[in-house]
């Protein structure tokens, strides 16, 4: 069954916990966004895991170097999954995977900004990562001409476990799952909704029906 990951791109622990409390019944993975972790530090990871021990807590570190060290900090704080940039060297990814194995946790590679996301996904999966995020970041989404269809097409030909992030919403989530994504990552379409719980519930139902 495909998973729903809520990406919390809010800026304080208080706001993040309030949103997570509303949407937790409908999501499998709670992502603490990079700006949130940069603003609050690893304490937000601990607070979220303590509040939702039954969910996978995803620390979107976007690590580019010192993979083992940064991953270890997040795992010690309570993260179940951490991200390393696909553009980082393999040694950085291997280091993070080493830390993950020591903690019984996992690493996700984020392909944001990488020219050939599918090729990199196929390479890094061999390094022991859980799955690869086919990701168009917020800046790319705000660039004229952006379409999530690019990521959907990439997922269909990746042939390795992937998530899709980059403007997933209720109108495209079925296509995201049908393309083979194991995880649909949804940020703004949940945290920016008038009723985040209702938005998460609708996404959950669409994923389960896909
Ligand atoms: O990872 C993200 C981004 O780099 C900012 O941290 C987002 O959480 C991810 O893109 C999902 O958010 P939406 O595109 O708003 O669904």
Give me ligand 1 centre to Cα 30, in Å: 12
The pLDDT, as a whole number, for residue 197 is 98
ipTM of predicted assembly, 2 dp: 0.96
Helices vs. strands in the chain: H and E counts, helices first = 11, 8
Please state, in angstroms and rounded to a whole number, the distance separating the CA atoms of residues 31 and 59: 6
Mean pLDDT on 176-185? 98
Could you identify the atom of ligand 1 that is nearest to the CA of residue 7? 8
Alpha helices for 104-195 (secondary structure H):
117-124, 138-141, 149-158, 173-178, 188-191
CB 172 within 8 A of CB 148: yes
Report the nearest-CA residue for atom 8 of ligand 1. 7
Could you identify the atom of ligand 1 that is nearest to the CA of residue 189? 16
Residue positions counted in the chain? 210
Report the nearest-CA residue for atom 3 of ligand 1. 137
Give me ligand 1 centre to Cα 6, in Å: 9
> How do residues 65-110 score in pLDDT, each as one tens digit?
999 999 999 999 999 999 999 999 999 999 999 999 999 999 999 9
């Amino acid at each position: 069954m495909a998973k729903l990951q809520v990406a919390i791109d809010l800026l304080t622990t208080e706001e993040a916990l309030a949103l997570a409390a509303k949407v937790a019944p409908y999501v499998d993975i709670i992502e603490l966004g990079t700006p949130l972790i940069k603003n609050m530090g690893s304490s937000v990871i601990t607070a979220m895991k303590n509040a939702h021990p039954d969910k996978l807590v995803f620390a979107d570190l976007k690590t580019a170097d010192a993979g083992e060290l940064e991953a270890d900090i997040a795992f010690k704080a309570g993260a179940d999954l951490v991200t390393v940039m696909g553009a980082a060297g393999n040694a950085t990814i291997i280091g993070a995977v080493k830390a993950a194995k020591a903690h019984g946790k996992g690493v996700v590679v984020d392909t944001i900004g990488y020219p050939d996301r599918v090729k990199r996904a196929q390479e890094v999966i061999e390094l022991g990562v859980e799955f690869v995020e086919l990701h168009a970041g917020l800046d790319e989404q705000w660039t004229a001409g952006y379409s999530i269809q690019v990521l959907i097409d990439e997922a269909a030909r990746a042939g390795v476990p992937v998530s899709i992030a980059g403007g997933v919403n209720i109108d495209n989530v079925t296509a995201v799952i049908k393309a083979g994504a194991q995880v649909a990552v949804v940020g703004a379409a949940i945290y920016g909704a008038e009723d985040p719980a209702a938005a998460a519930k609708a996404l959950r139902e669409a994923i389960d029906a896909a």
